[in-house]
A and B are shown apart, each in its own frame.
Chain A
Amino acid sequence: MSAWSVWAMATPEPPHGATLGGALEVVALGCIGVAVLGLLLVEFVFKSRMARSTYRWTLLLGLFVLPGVALLGTTGHMFESMKTVEACQSCHVMNPFVGDMHDPRSATLAARHYRSGAIPDKQCYACHTGYGIFGTVEAKRDGLRHWLLYVTDTWKEPITYKGTYPNANCLACHATAPIFTRVDSHKALGTQLANDEMSCFTCHGLPHPARPTRASTRVTASQ
């Protein structure tokens, strides 16, 4: 079997059909197009021929309503698109992590989840968001911090996870799944797992490659 066949089998298919991010993108694009064209025509072509009140009301639409909808659409599209693995990989710092996830021979939790095909497209986000009430806000805050570190080239090598990883993030998907509930040790350790007295990683291994086996995230001139 060729390497390509192994790769094709290990990589789940991308999602098909309409998505929320795609719909917001269309809305934002439409509003931006109409607003830019409208504003330029009204201000630089038709201004002298329009009644003052018409001009003001047109500007109200062009400067408030359309840009407002465009900004909301763009923000929504960005929030949705930023959940994808592709978005995480757009910062080359993430290459060692995403590369491991695509590796059909990798035994890390991230790679095994990716191979299973349950959450391939938004896999990074699925695990790196908190499943509490402010989970999305915290994930976006962390994302902004990571973005700032990346664009200012101030991240520290090697990258380390400084927070705690609650079992609730794993249990959000697995708690009611038969593959989880039918395992006797899960039943026996149920209370400890629920109270974070024992981590899922203790038995199931690391989510990503251990630091010594991971490629450097910082690109140097010699590389």
Chain B
Amino acid sequence: MPSSDTLTRAAVVLCVVGLLLLLPILSSIRASFVGFYMLGSLLLLVSITLYVVAVVRELRRGGAL
């Protein structure tokens, strides 16, 4: 199981990629851009999940926010 720091870094990277994937739909409405929007939303969800897992693991080890 990866460490909390690795999970957090993965969450940050996925979040950045997810946010960048939201950009095309803001510039123009195209069928492919709708796909990017959906993928971006999914990555944001995964990123948040990874971060929550990382924080919960750290808290269970006795760490603090």
Contacts and interface: CB of A to CB of B under 8 A. Distances in A.
Interface string B1-45: 000000011011001101110110110111110110100010010
Interface string A24-38: 010011001001100
Given A53-B65, A59-B12, A81 B19 contact: no
Contact of A78 (B8, B37, B64): B37
The interface centre, meaning the residue of B19, B31, B35 with most chain A CB atoms within 10 A of its CB, is B19
A57 B48 CA distance: 14
Contact of A62 (B9, B15, B35): B15
Interface residues of A, number: 34
A63 interface: yes
A53 B12 CA distance: 17
Interface residues of B, number: 29
Contacts of A40: 12, 16
Interface in A80-120: 81-82, 84, 86-87, 90-91
A77 B25 CA distance: 9
Nearest to B27: A25
Interface in B47-65: 47-48, 51, 55, 64-65
Contacts of A81: 29
B12 A87 contact: no
A39 B15 contact: yes
Given A32-B22, A56-B65, A63 B31 contact: no
A71 interface: yes
B22 A28 contact: yes
B12 A32 contact: no
Contacts of B9: 43
A125 to B, nearest CB: 12
Given A63-B48, A91-B31, A39 B64 contact: no
Given A59-B51, A84-B29, A147 B22 contact: no
Given A36-B16, A147-B34, A82 B26 contact: no
B42 to A, nearest CB: 11
A12 interface: no
A71 B16 contact: no
Contacts of B34: 78, 147
Interface string A1-38: 00000000000000000000000010011001001100
A64 interface: yes
Nearest to B41: A71
The 6 closest A-B pairs by CB, nearest first: A87-B29, A43-B12, A74-B22, A32-B19, A56-B65, A90-B30
